[in-house]
């Protein structure tokens, strides 16, 4: 390898190279699930995506000669519940080369530092509301939808580049059948009865109003969580719109006391199975492949569960999980992933473990507070 050069991905050509690099980088990897190129393009569109109304981002490419060997983005998000001087990095991909990783980290850090950041955290793509975390344990299976995947050597690249663990995120796996028969389901049922919370599916005929109600729960239930990044209503509605096509009402639940919403839970089919068949393309045959294989999907990711603070110890979370699991079993689903959960969220981890789920993947967020130059 010759000298590493880092350039900004600032125009149409370099942005296409930025988007395209992972498809070449992971070619032949049986576990990687290629995202749709059109979805990646939309997410990185700083003129149209609502995330950038409260954030700015600069993306970089690492070149060896004319060949792209890595990429990274530096992100400043004014909507984070985090110190004002905290910057972020994301969309990190690189060949197994420390000089490449160092050059990328240095470029991202320099851009952030020039704008007042004194620390850099990530990876977030582009915040904790989207794909985030570096896979550090559990490389022997494909990621579920909206979860990350990377080679095992990435952790070493970041750590030798000066970053240190700031928080781990856990993913659990089980099967609907095994969990539905678990004794903890009866305990969850009793807890739900005593809490007076009634669980119902989202009304798809009033989808927009239901989304706004869930957004209010989300903004309250997550507000004190470590790493919380508030979603604007516009962002939340966009995410909901994207999920609506694969959403089943049985897996989008609202918990109420009287007419007051106090919690919600969301699970979505693991569409990654279909995306792997499409290879990142909708056309000419990708959409047909997605629609065909979508019918075969019988795995589920429980991706969000929130309860407002005054009801968190009332067994509401376990009741949501029990309801989702019974629906999954009734509809013929097999594997269910619960992800992600902060390593120190004791209540949530215990709730999931009490249902017999096994922790099988760990994702890590890193932070650095020194000069990489």
Q: Which tokens belong to 54? A: 């409260």
Per the structure block, which two tokens stand in for 150?
Answer: 């990377």
Q: Is 339 exposed, middle or buried (0-12, 13-18, 19+ CB in 10 A)?
A: buried
Q: Any residues with CB less than 8 A from the CB of 209 and at least 6 apart, and which?
A: none
Q: Determine the distance from the C-alpha atom of residue 312 to the mean position of all C-alpha atoms in its chain, rounded to a whole number.
A: 23
173-362 placed in CATH 3.40.630.30: yes
- Beta-bridge mates of residue 55: 77
Measure the CA–CA gap between 315 and 322, rounded to whole angstroms.
Answer: 11
Question: Alpha-carbon torsion 238, 279, 295, 129, what sign?
Answer: negative
pTM of the model: 0.92
Q: What are the pLDDT tens digits along the chain (373 aa)? A: 668 999 999 999 999 999 999 999 999 999 999 999 999 999 999 999 999 999 999 999 999 999 999 999 999 998 766 667 899 999 999 999 999 999 999 999 999 999 999 999 999 999 999 999 999 999 999 999 999 999 999 999 999 999 999 999 999 999 988 887 777 777 777 767 777 788 899 999 999 999 999 999 998 888 788 888 889 999 999 999 988 888 888 999 998 888 888 899 999 999 888 888 778 776 555 565 666 557 778 899 999 988 888 777 666 777 888 889 889 999 999 999 999 999 999 988 988 898 889 999 999 999 996 554 4
Dist CA 182 CA 322 (whole Å): 10
Q: Which CATH superfamily is domain 4-170 in?
A: Gcn5-related N-acetyltransferase (GNAT) (3.40.630.30)
- Run of H or E including 107: helix 98-113
Q: How far apart are CA 23 and CA 29, in angstroms?
A: 10
Domain spans of the chain? 4-170, 173-362
């Amino acid at each position: 390898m010759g000298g590493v050069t880092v350039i900004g991905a600032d125009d149409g050509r370099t942005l296409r190279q930025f988007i395209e690099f992972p498809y070449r980088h992971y070619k032949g990897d049986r576990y990687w699930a290629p995202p749709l190129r059109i979805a990646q393009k939309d997410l990185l569109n700083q003129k149209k995506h609502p995330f950038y109304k409260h954030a700015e981002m600069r993306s970089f490419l690492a070149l060896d000669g004319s060949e792209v060997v890595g990429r990274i983005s530096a992100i400043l998000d004014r909507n984070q519940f985090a110190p004002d001087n905290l910057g972020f990095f994301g969309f990190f991909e690189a060949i197994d080369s420390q000089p490449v990783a160092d050059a990328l980290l240095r470029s991202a850090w320099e851009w952030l530092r020039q704008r007042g950041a004194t620390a850099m955290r990530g990876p977030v793509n582009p915040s904790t509301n989207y794909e985030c975390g570096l896979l550090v344990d559990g490389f022997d299976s494909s990621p579920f939808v909206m979860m990350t995947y990377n080679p095992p050597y990435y952790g070493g690249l970041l750590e030798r580049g000066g970053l240190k663990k700031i928080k781990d995120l856990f993913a659990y796996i089980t099967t609907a059948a095994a969990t539905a028969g678990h004794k903890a389901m009866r305990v969850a049922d009793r807890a739900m009865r005593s809490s007076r919370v009634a669980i119902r599916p989202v009304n798809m005929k009033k989808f927009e109003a239901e989304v706004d109600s869930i957004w209010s729960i989300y903004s309250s239930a997550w507000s004190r969580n470590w790493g919380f990044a508030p979603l604007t209503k516009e962002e939340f509605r966009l995410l909901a719109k994207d999920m609506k096509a694969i959403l089943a009402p049985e897996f989008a639940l609202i918990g109420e006391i009287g007419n007051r919403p106090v919690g919600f839970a969301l699970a979505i089919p693991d569409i990654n199975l279909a995306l792997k068949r499409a290879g990142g393309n909708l056309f000419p045959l990708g959409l047909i492949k997605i629609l065909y294989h979508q019918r075969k999907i019988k795995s589920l990711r429980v991706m969000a569960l929130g309860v407002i603070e005054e009801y968190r110890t009332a067994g509401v979370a376990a009741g949501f999980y029990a309801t989702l699991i019974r629906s999954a079993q009734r509809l013929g689903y097999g594997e269910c992933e619960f992800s992600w959960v902060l390593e120190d969220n004791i209540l949530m981890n215990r709730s999931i473990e009490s249902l017999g789920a096994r922790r099988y993947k760990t994702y890590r967020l890193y932070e650095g507070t020194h000069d990489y130059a």
